[in-house]
A and B are shown apart, each in its own frame.
Chain A
Amino acid sequence: MKSNYDVIVVGAGPAGSMAARFAAEQGVSVLMLEKDRDVGYPVRCGEAISKEGVEEFIDSDERWIKAHINKFSFIAPDETEVILQFDSRQEGYVLERKLFDYELARTAAEAGTEILTRAYVNGLLFNDGKVSGVRYEYQGKQNEIKAKIVIAADGVESRVGRWAGLKTHIDFRDMECCTQITAANISVEPDTLYFYFGADVAPQGYFWIFPKGNNLANIGLGVSGKVGKTKSAQSYLNSFMDKYYPDAPVLTSIAGGVPSAVTLDKISAPGIVLVGDAARQVNPLSGGGIASGMIGGSIAGRIAGEAVKMNKPDHILSYDKAWNDRLGKRHLIFNRIKGGIYNFSDEKFNKIAKSVNKIPYEKRTLGKVFTTALMNQPSLLVDVAKVFLI
Chain B
Amino acid sequence: MELRYAKTGILMIEILPDKCDFCGCCVGVCPEDAIELKEAEISIIDERCTNCAKCVWSCPIEVIVFNRDGVTVK
Q: Give A contacts to B, CB under 8 Å.
A: 35-37, 42, 44, 118, 120, 122, 137, 155-159, 162, 169-172, 175, 177-179, 225-226, 228-229, 232-235, 254-257, 259
20 new A-B contacts at CB < 8 Å, known A169-B28, A178-B23, A257-B24: A37-B39, A44-B23, A155-B24, A156-B28, A157-B27, A158-B27, A162-B33, A172-B29, A172-B57, A175-B29, A178-B60, A179-B60, A226-B57, A254-B23, A255-B21, A255-B59, A256-B23, A257-B23, A257-B28, A257-B58
Is B61 part of the contact surface with A, judged by Cβ < 8 Å?
yes
Cβ distance B51 to chain A, nearest Cβ, rounded Å: 14
We find that the number of chain B residues with CB closer than 8 angstroms to chain A is 21
Q: Which residues in B have their C-beta under 8 angstroms from that of A118?
A: 39
Cβ distance B32 to chain A, nearest Cβ, rounded Å: 8
Our count of residue pairs bridging A and B at CB distance below 8 angstroms stands at 90
What are 26 of the A-B contact pairs (CB < 8 Å)? A44-B23, A118-B39, A120-B39, A122-B36, A156-B23, A157-B24, A157-B28, A157-B37, A159-B33, A169-B29, A169-B30, A171-B29, A172-B57, A175-B28, A175-B29, A177-B58, A177-B60, A225-B29, A225-B54, A225-B58, A228-B57, A229-B57, A232-B59, A234-B60, A256-B25, A256-B60
Known: A35-B38, A172-B54. A255 touches B61 (CB 8 A): yes
Closest 8 CB pairs of A and B: A257-B25, A225-B58, A233-B60, A255-B21, A157-B27, A177-B60, A157-B24, A255-B23
A232 to B21, CA, bound (A): 14
Q: Are A232 and B62 in contact (CB under 8 A)?
A: yes
> At the interface, is chain A mostly helix, strand, loop or mixed?
mixed
Cβ distance B73 to chain A, nearest Cβ, rounded Å: 23
Cβ distance A40 to chain B, nearest Cβ, rounded Å: 14
A172 to B53, CA, bound (A): 10
Q: Are A228 and B29 in contact (CB under 8 A)?
A: no
Known: A177-B25, A257-B24, A259-B28. A172 touches B58 (CB 8 A): yes
A159 to B62, CA, bound (A): 22
Q: Which residues in A have their C-beta under 8 angstroms from that of B61?
A: 179, 232-234, 255
Cβ distance B48 to chain A, nearest Cβ, rounded Å: 11
Q: Which residues in B have their C-beta under 8 angstroms from that of A158?
A: 27-28
